Amino acid sequence: MRKFFKNIHLWLSVPVGVIITIICLTGSILIFETEIMEALYPDRYFIKEVSEKPIPIDKLITNVSKEIPDSVSITGVTIPSDPKRAYIFSLSKPRRASVYVDQYSGNIKFYNQRSQFFMTVFRLHRWLLDSAKSDGSIFWGKVIVGSCTLIFVFIIITGLIIWVPKTLTATKNRLKINFNKGWRRFIYDLHVAGGFYISILLLIMALTGLTWSFQWYRQGFYKVLGSEMLQAGPPPSAQQKQQGNDNRVKEKEERKTDKPQADFEKVKQNISKEDGTAVADKQEERGTRANEETRDSSNRENKRGNSSLNFQKWQQVYDELAYQNPKYTQITLSNGNANVFFSGWGNQRAGDKYTFNPKNGEITDSDLYKNQNKQGKIRGWIFSLHVGSWGGYFSKILTLIAALIGATLPITGYYFWLNRIIKKNKRKTLRG
């Protein structure tokens, strides 16, 4: 049986090893993306001079609205508890666009955009730089990454099986990484002992990552955890597709009349590159977001450019929620909705949800995290476990180490495999 599992482990690893190395290495780079960007560009995210009281939200929105194109509207605001961190105002377009604002002066610090470097690393990690096809044909990059990740799960399991030693002495040897017995022994120990230590973390990352690759896996994953995924609605009709095309044409015409804004146009161009992946995001998230359609319908209307939001009572709502939740890390506000997030270990997307009356600022309903549906909690846990954010910097460092060692496992495995083939051929030559 040991020989059988060794063969399975080897012949599963050989064809996918290079891709596994790419996935692990790019994943390790993305773990501390936020921290790296904040360290490189602190002026974008932090305030130099903190005043006693920030400018009211509605006045900040008025200032920001003057600096953005006419066809773009503000859809929400994120307010961190740290007074040194800038406010973040979400924009209706481009996709996922936002601006960081100094809440004490009202000045825009910068238009938020994902670094081209990290965007490339992300696309390499998720899709091997491929993009979803508009005609609905096979998204090969996504399929290849998902298939290799699924194979990687079996590689890890078979690796654990053949790792199990026969004696206590062998167990001690397989738990050590020797640094003073030559580089060949170090490579061997890194593969055997290092692979054992990180196997559980690699399994968690692989199993959670697969939920973004295959819908059938995502549905099964949720079902195993006791939550039935709601199915997406029927595909759009020909009339709906034509209407969507007309809306896009109209949007393009609106952009032609936008007032000049060099920085903003540059951001749109950069974020448009990310929009190339939007089709893929929508395809894989369509099923998981079906249960949120009704609740978020007003927000989606605002993202289409509706600038009729009533911001007058947002400050009142924020003040009340901040008073009720003194340990919050950030509060987000949109049209009639608010979310309060807290720090701590666990699901980093966990938050209490509130609805309020935009006309008078009265909080009309609350949905505490502990009472929320299981599906939403699972989604947050999947993300937190996959990126290693569940335990703060401690878990991120563990995840980084696991991803880096995971990237070396195929390389060290190839080394042993090729070395064995070379030795075998030498023996045949000597006998001949």
The DSSP letter of residue 260 is P
Task: Give the number of residues written for the chain.
Answer: 432
Residue type present at position 268: K
Residue 74 tokens, joined? 């503000």
Q: What is the pLDDT of residue 226?
A: 87
Q: What is the pLDDT of residue 286?
A: 46
Nearest-angstrom CA–CA distance, 101 and 77: 10
Nearest-angstrom CA–CA distance, 28 and 400: 5
Please identify which residue in the block is written with the tokens 């999947």.
382
Q: What is the pLDDT of residue 231?
A: 55
Question: In 286-304, which positions are buried (b, 16+ CB within 10 angstroms) versus exposed (e)?
Answer: ebbeeeeeeeeebbeebbe
Residues contacting 76, CB < 8 A, separation 6+? 89, 90, 299, 302, 332, 333, 334, 335
Nearest-angstrom CA–CA distance, 272 and 289: 23
Task: Give whole-number Cα distances, 356 to 92, 227, 308, in Å.
Answer: 21, 29, 16
The answer to whether 287 and 218 are in contact (CB under 8 A) is: yes
Model confidence pTM above 0.85: no
Angle at 294 between CA 291 and CA 296, to 5 degrees: 95
Nearest-angstrom CA–CA distance, 305 and 19: 41
Strands (DSSP E) along 118-180, which ranges?
A: none
Q: What does each of the 432 residues of the chain score in pLDDT, given as a tens digit?
A: 889 999 999 999 999 999 999 999 999 999 999 999 999 999 999 999 898 899 999 999 999 999 998 889 999 999 999 999 999 999 998 888 899 999 999 999 999 888 999 999 999 999 999 998 888 899 999 999 999 999 999 999 999 999 999 888 888 889 999 999 999 999 999 999 999 999 999 999 999 999 999 999 999 999 999 887 655 545 555 555 555 555 554 544 544 444 444 455 555 454 444 444 444 554 455 444 444 443 444 444 443 334 458 898 999 999 999 999 999 999 999 999 999 999 889 999 999 999 999 999 999 999 999 999 998 899 999 999 999 999 999 999 999 999 999 999 999 999 999 999 998 888 888 876
Nearest-angstrom CA–CA distance, 100 and 318: 18
Q: How many helices (H) and strands (E) does the chain have?
A: 17, 8
339 φψ region: left (φ > 0), alpha (ψ -120 to 50), beta (else) = beta
From the list 390, 386, 400, 379, the residue with the least C-alpha distance to 218 is: 379
| Extents of the domains making up the chain | 1-432
Please identify which residue in the block is written with the tokens 């666990």.
346
Residues contacting 33, CB < 8 A, separation 6+? 115, 118
φ/ψ (deg, to 5) at 330: -160, 155
Nearest-angstrom CA–CA distance, 285 and 7: 37
- What torsion do the CA atoms of 295, 298, 302, 307 make, to the nearest 10 degrees? -150
The answer to whether 24 and 406 are in contact (CB under 8 A) is: yes
Q: What is the pLDDT of residue 36?
A: 97
From the list 286, 289, 273, 309, the residue with the least C-alpha distance to 375 is: 289
The answer to whether 66 and 56 are in contact (CB under 8 A) is: no
From the list 17, 88, 91, the residue with the least C-alpha distance to 57 is: 88
Q: What is the pLDDT of residue 146?
A: 98
